[in-house]
Every structure is written in C-alpha cells, then in structure tokens.
Amino acid sequence: MASQDQLQSFPSKPRVFILSDISNEPDDAESLVRYLLYSNQFHTEGLVACTSTWMKNKVCPQDMHKIVDGYEKVVDNLNAHAHPDDPYPTAEYLRSQIKKGAETYGMTAVGADIPLSEGAEHLLQRIQAPSTSPLWILCWGGTNVLASALLKLQTTHSPAAFAALRANLRIYTISDQDDSGLWLRTTYPDLFYICSVHGWNQYGMAAWTGISGDAWYGFDKGGPDPATISREWIRANIQIGPLGGTYPDFMFIPEGDTPSFLYLVQNGLGVAERPEFGSWGGRYIPTDVSGRFGDGDGRGGHFSDTPDEVEGLDGRGYKSNQATIWRWREAFQMDFAARMQWSLSGDVGSANHHPVAVVNGTRGPAPLVLELEAGSTVTLDASASYDPDPNDSLAFKWYQYKDPSATQSSVHYEVGELGIKALNEAGSVVEITMPPPEKCCVELISRKAMQRGQLLHLILEVKDNGSPALITYRRVIIQATNEKLLGGGGGADSIGETLKDVIQ
C-alpha cells in the first residue's frame, strides 16, 4: 500500500481566480469538475459566475454550488490520496469563494460610475491582498469582471501603485468572449495575458481547442487520438461517483476551458512564467517582441498561439497550434481518470498514484537548469525516481522538445540536436551530448558565433504500469554556451541569403 508521505507534494501553489460563464453550455461545468480534482495543487481565491457573448444577461453561481455539493461527498476520499502537506480544500471554503459577476454583457458593466459586482469586489480584494505570488486569473467566459476591477484600481491608486498591482497578475483567457478582452489588452498592454487571437467567434482557430475539438472543428484529422474524449470513454471513466455524477454530457466539445488550468498543473512539464516553453495547457509566444513589456525573461505583454510539430496517431507529421495541447492528450486524460478513481474510495491501495521523478538528486516540479558548453557531454541520472505504489514498475523516456527552442517555428533546420544515449538497461541513466557550436551557438542570419546560444529542452517522462498508467515529467533546460566563440561564419544580411542552400 502506498504511504501518503511518499506521494507527490507541492512546495508552492499558484493562486487561482476563475471567471466562468457556467451554464451557457455544459463545458464550464465539466472543467470545474476536473479543476476540483486538482484543487490541492492550487490556492483557489475566487469562483465567479460571469456573462459572455453566449449568455449575456444572467449568471449561474448556483450551478457552481451543485458541483461543490458533489465534491463535498468525496473530499475525504480525495484526501486519502493526497500528500499530508497538500490537502484538498473544504467544500465550505470553496462555497465561500463563489460569487456573482455583473448580469450584463461586456463593457456595459465597465465604467467609472458603474458599481462593481459582487464578483468584481471579490477580485479587487484578492488583487490587493499582500502576496509575493502572482494571481492567476483564468477566464472561461467574458472578462468584464476583470475589466471593471482594473478600472476601479486605476481610479483609486497612483500610477506607480497600480502598475505594481498589474505586474502581479497573470491572465489566461479562453479567447475573447465579450468586448472587454480587447479593451483590457489595449488599455493595459503590459498585462501578462495569454489569449488566442483570431476572427470573432472563430474558436476552431484557437490553441485551446486542441484539448478535444478536432472532430467538431475539423483540424489535424488523423493526428489526435479521439478515444479518450468520446462519450463512451467519458461515461465509463469520468461520469462515476458523486462528483463524476455532476459532470454533464458535452454539447460541442468537452472542457474547452480546461487548458487554462492544465497550464498550471504541477507535473514537472510546464513552467508557468514561461508560456513559450509549452505544457498540458499549450504553448504561447510573445506577440510583441519590441522589449517594451516585461524584463526580458518571458513575462509581460500578450502571448498568443504558436505551433508544435508532432507525430500523430496515424504516423504522419502535424504542425499546428492545437497540437501544442493534443500532443499530451493521452497523458492528461489518464490523469483525469485516475483522480476520479480517487474520489470513489478512501483506500489508498485501491487506486494508482503518480511516480515521483528525481534527476541528479533533485525533484521537480521546477525544471533542472544547466549551462553546458557546445559539444560537451553530461550524465543525467533518474534512477532515484520511485513509485509510491509498491507493486508498480517504472518506464523512462527521454526526448528533446525542440519547438520551444525555435524562433522560426521550423525546428528541422534551426534547432541543435541533443544526443541521448542510455547508460543502463532501464534507461534511467543517460548521457547527453550537446550539439556542436555551429548548430546551437550562432546567430540565425549573420551566423556570428555567440557565447550564449540556444536554450534547449530535454523532457523526461517517468511512467508507471498502474491502471490507468500515470506520467510524471521532469524538464531539463540547457543553456548552450560557447566560451571560445567557435563555429561562426557563412552568414549574410538576410534570412533568404543565409538559408538559400538549406531550403533548396
């Protein structure tokens, strides 16, 4: 039987505030059910029912309460499967966070003379709460609750104080669902703001639809595996028990809002402050690269869609923004199913639990960061990884995640190749060989040698053989260096001249 103190633990937890147009269709309710199964990883600071273009004149907090009622019946079971330091929040606490947003559409709720809704007042309080941790505002519907709160802060604070409050916000919106989203990005362009931008209501173009929208929207046909998003699979694996019983049948696509918090799940894959690194919630890059926003390390300004190159279920290559999410689908759906099993029983021996990944003596979820000279080698040892379920065995898979290193979204000619050589039969210990300097430490166009070159990403997946099988990741971020400035030359003044021999 697993020992609880051997389960995954979370040294820090993101502060999360959710705005949801719940009950405009079933997907918000579905996402809230899944969110609650991960809620011991987060500090939930708000659950506000809001409007959107799909439900303009009412809000439905009562439907949040119904889901929390189901959660209340299983929270003790869930706590049996959680590390003692990371208990699930009580149902009473979650109910205290449920508030009503304005019962009107978009910017009609935003103005200096318009009273704040209950939800906006609550958000205002959480934004101003003393904290060194950023507040993640996850927008599943319209954003007028956030817009009205920020306008209030602007009118009641000095420019410097207001700027400091904005700097502590992190926003992930599921596209624009009212007219306040564009207002927010243009009025406060320094906001850390993840949002797919496309034609109005053209959601099939958005990255977040990669969670389950391939059949409905018709993208990447043959690439994503549809098995774990079918009605049959959901019925058998998710709509079970008191909490699963509150998960409604989907209408268009299941859980379109879920990528906003999958982005924050602490599984060792994502780095929340770096949207361009990629995670279960997708991969996003800065829209404005002028340097006006943030401090150069990925924070500040608008982040929008970018593609990943992925091999699909049919063995063909796919390149799309949706692929930044659907590439992880089997893993996050198995994870969901396992957690729903936790809700059914307080017997820790009755369900599967996540492996704990240990690389070179260190645990995640934070990445292991290295600086290595081009052409050099390093040994990475994950043999201390373990599974808290005593009868489970572990499989180790190491691979380079090239897409975050590419500036031209074309990894095949731009990103240096890491050599990966297993040093033991299990594959838990590997030797990594850095690319030569001409492949990772030269400027793309001029081909001038650089002392600090590409940031390379190596992913370790540690997978158990439980049912359903679970994966824990460890990301290794390697800064390529080139102290002697080797490998330069052969460049030109334009990208076409530099790469003319490569692309012919």
Q: Are 103 and 21 in contact (CB under 8 A)?
A: no
> What residue type is 174 in one-letter code?
I
Share of the chain above pLDDT 90, in %: 90
- 419: which strand partners? 433
Q: Are 453 and 439 in contact (CB under 8 A)?
A: no
Residue 367's nearest CA partner among 357, 353, 377, 352 is: 357
Give every strand in the sheet of 15-20, ordered side by side: 98-100, 43-49, 15-20, 135-139, 169-173, 192-195, 302-305, 284-286
The whole-angstrom separation of Cα 192 and Cα 205 is: 21
Q: H-type helices in 168-248, by residue range?
A: 180-187, 214-217, 231-237, 241-244
Q: Are 26 and 248 in contact (CB under 8 A)?
A: yes
pLDDT digits (tens, 9 = 90+) for 25-61: 999 999 999 999 999 999 999 999 999 999 999 999 9
Cis peptide before 468 (omega within 30 of 0): yes
Separation of CA 256 from chain center: 13
pLDDT digits (tens, 9 = 90+) for 90-103: 999 999 999 999 99
DSSP assignments along 424-463, one per residue: STTS-EEEEEPPPHHHHSB-TTT--B-SEEEEEEEEEEEE
Q: How confident is the model at residue 5 (pLDDT cuts 50, 70, 90)?
A: confident
Is pLDDT above 80 for 246?
A: yes
* Least confident residue range of 293-302, 303-312, 388-397: 293-302
The whole-angstrom separation of Cα 12 and Cα 43 is: 9
Q: How confident is the model at residue 295 (pLDDT cuts 50, 70, 90)?
A: very low
CB neighbourhood size of 420 (10 A): 15
The whole-angstrom separation of Cα 386 and Cα 347 is: 20
pLDDT, position 364: 86
Rounded to 5°, the CA angle 169-172-173 comes to 125
Give the global pTM: 0.96
**Which helix (H) or strand (E) element contains residue 100?**
strand 98-100
**Which helix (H) or strand (E) element contains residue 325?**
helix 323-326
Q: Which domains does the chain have, with CATH numbers?
A: 9-212+224-305 (3.90.245.10), 352-503 (2.60.40.10)
50 three-class SS: coil
- Sign of the alpha-carbon dihedral angle for 398, 8, 233, 321: negative
Q: Are 385 and 355 in contact (CB under 8 A)?
A: yes
Tell me the backbone φ, ψ of residue 213, rounded to 5 degrees. Answer: -95, 10
Is pLDDT above 90 for 413?
A: no
